[in-house]
Amino acid sequence: MITHSVRHPVLLRATTPSLRHITALRSCRQPRRLLPSSARTMSYNTSIPAFQSLLSSLGPNSRILALCGAGLSASSGLPTFRGAGGLWRNHDPTSLATPEAFAADPALVWLFYAWRRHMALKAEPNDGHKALAKLAEVKGASGFMCLTQNVDGLSQRAGHPAAQLKPLHGNILTLKCSSPSCNYIEHQNTDDPLCPALAAAAQDYPPDQPIPLLDAATPLPEIKRADLPHCPACKASSASSSSLLRPGVVWFGESLDSDMLMGVENWIYRGPIEVMLVIGTAAAVYPAAGYVRKAKRRGAVVAVVNPDPAAAEGLGPEDFWFGGDAAEVLPALFEGLVGRIGE
């Protein structure tokens, strides 16, 4: 299937030292906050029963917004960017997720993405993805919208209704042409390995054995540019050369899909938002993280699900922090609305 992607520029930014050292310096001096808060002392609710009764007290026209991040898929076995296992062969993953990195060393960036594709294809949606998918069904399109920064496709595989899921940063199983003048795009490519040159990224090892690809001391396979995946559309139109294909994800410095963002804004400004769920995200990537403040301004109680206490900074007494695994916490939070997951 061939479609267009991005039109107007909405830049993806990260508050990482490697990308914007001025921002990183600021975030070092004053800890990053999800929300602006005048409260000096941290006071927020951590009671699951209290949150359950909040949900059960909401009227039929109430609206819930969710922002999900890599932590939602952590217990499905997919590493996050920040936290344990965050480095990839001594590379900060956010430094590989850039158009500049791809231009400089497409084989390295492709190996990184080929390995993440392999992991995503092997992974199964967890009870957190399933609970959100059920909540979407129960609340309907006007009552629940889920924004995900994840590119692993696990929410889709958990049966999350597509109209209520905005994959802000694309999908790792999408391939697109790296040439700005070509709009070739291919969805749901599940080939693994994607091509023979990337076979090292699709190799499984027994759990007690180290994975050579992840060991920075083991040299990477030598991959010629010609052996990386190339665009079939460019090839058809030019006898001499064709551009490389690249993963269909949004890299740092690139634009998010403007139609998708428009849809999100339209949904947000349709009325008040009662609850804003912030699930498994460090909330350090914009514009995604900015939706939390927007929901707060529309009256939302914010509920953060993240084992890292830093994720609760800025929450007020009306808000919630649940410091556990999203795969366990979400089914408990929504049980009154969606029943028991897995039964």
Ligand X SMILES: NC(=O)c1ccc[n+]([C@@H]2O[C@H](COP(=O)([O-])OP(=O)(O)OC[C@H]3O[C@@H](n4cnc5c(N)ncnc54)[C@H](O)[C@@H]3O)[C@@H](O)[C@H]2O)c1
Contact positions toward Zn ion, by CB under 5 A?
Answer: 177, 179, 182, 184, 231, 233-234, 243
Q: Please tell me which residue in 4, 169, 187, 230 is annotated as part of the active site.
A: 169
Q: How far apart are CA 129 and CA 76, in angstroms?
A: 10
Q: How far apart are CA 322 and CA 92, in angstroms?
A: 28
Tracing tokens 């508050």 back to the chain, one arrives at: 15
Choose the contact partner of 231 out of ligand X, Zn ion, none; CB within 5 to 8 A by kind. Zn ion
Annotation marks residue 187 as catalytic: no
Q: Least distance from C-beta 167 to Zn ion, angstroms?
A: 22
End-to-end CA distance of the chain: 36
| Residue 128 in tokens | 């957190």
Question: Does 177 belong to an annotated binding site?
Answer: yes
Report if residue 317 touches ligand X, rule: CB under 6 A.
no
Q: Binding to ligand X (CB under 6 A): which residues in 275-304?
A: 280-282, 284-285
Q: Which is nearer to Zn ion, 168 or 233 (CB)?
A: 233
The torsion angles phi and psi of 219, rounded to 5 degrees, stand at -60, 145
Report if residue 311 touches ligand X, rule: CB under 6 A.
yes
Q: How far apart are CA 160 and CA 135, in angstroms?
A: 9
| Residue 85 in tokens | 């296992």
Q: Which is nearer to ligand X, 68 or 234 (CB)?
A: 68
Specify the pairing of strand 185-186 against strand 170-177.
antiparallel
Report if residue 171 touches ligand X, rule: CB under 6 A.
no
Q: Which of 181-215 are b and which e, b meaning 16 or more Cβ less than 10 Å from the residue's Cβ?
A: ebebbbeebeebebeebbebbbeeeeeeeeeebee
Report if residue 169 touches ligand X, rule: CB under 6 A.
yes
Q: Least distance from C-beta 231 to Zn ion, angstroms?
A: 3
Question: Does 146 belong to an annotated binding site?
Answer: no
Q: Binding to ligand X (CB under 6 A): which residues in 74-113?
A: 74-75, 78, 80-83
Catalytic sites, residue numbers: 169
Binding site as annotated, residues: 177, 182, 231, 234
Residues that bind ligand X (CB under 6 A): 69-71, 73-75, 78, 80-83, 149-152, 169, 280-282, 284-285, 305-308, 311, 325-326
